[in-house]
């Protein structure tokens, strides 16, 4: 196996360790009556390169290398309240502020839901008259 092949293999093996499921979804942690699970985002970068000099008039040379990086960022916490059954006992708390698009979609959804609520209330009032 060439040096570059060994470098690539070593780099890929280390990156695979970084993207392990345990690095994305943590083991549950019990805190009082709650179970807390953290959710993270994993980012990866990888590159290889090789260069050679084949000059007829000068010295020949070459080089090769491989490298990679991984980053892990917390994104959310899932809190499960043991004393509250069903979906009501599960909370997902974001640890990052919404993006501009996410905020706009949330605002639009809130406006639409409010309009639907008002229409329903209006129809209910008309039925009782």
pLDDT of residue 30: 94
Task: Count Cα neighbours of 108 within 13 Å in the Cβ-side half-sphere.
Answer: 6
**Token pair 């639907």 is at which residue?**
116
Residue 80: the pLDDT is: 94
> For residue 78, what pLDDT is reported?
93
Comparison of pLDDT for 58 and 28, the residue scoring more = 28
CA-to-CA dists, residue 116 to 22, 39, 42, 119, 127, angstroms: 42, 33, 39, 5, 17
Ramachandran assignment for 19, one of left (phi > 0), alpha (psi -120 to 50 degrees), beta (any other): alpha
Q: What is the pLDDT of residue 29?
A: 92
Residue 33's pLDDT band (boundaries 50, 70, 90)? very high
What's CA 100's distance to the chain center, in Å?
A: 18
Q: Give pTM, 2 decimals.
A: 0.52
SS3 state of residue 60: coil
Q: What is the pLDDT of residues 72-121, one digit of tens each?
A: 788 999 999 999 998 889 999 988 887 888 778 878 888 888 888 888 88
pLDDT in tens, 53-85: 887 777 788 888 777 777 778 899 999 999 999
| Cα 14–chain centre separation | 19
CB 40 within 8 A of CB 71: no
């Amino acid at each position: 196996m060439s040096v570059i092949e060994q470098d690539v293999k070593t780099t890929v093996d280390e990156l695979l360790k970084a993207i392990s499921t345990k690095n994305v979804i943590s083991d549950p942690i019990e805190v009082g009556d709650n179970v807390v699970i953290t959710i993270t985002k994993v980012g990866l970068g990888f590159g290889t390169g090789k260069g050679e000099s084949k000059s007829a008039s000068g010295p020949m040379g070459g080089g090769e290398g491989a490298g990679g990086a991984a980053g892990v960022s917390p994104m959310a916490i899932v809190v499960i309240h043991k004393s509250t059954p069903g979906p009501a006992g599960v909370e997902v708390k974001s640890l990052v502020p919404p993006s501009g698009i996410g905020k706009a979609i949330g605002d639009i959804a809130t406006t639409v839901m409010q309009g639907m609520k008002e229409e329903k209330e209006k129809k209910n009032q008309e039925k009782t008259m």
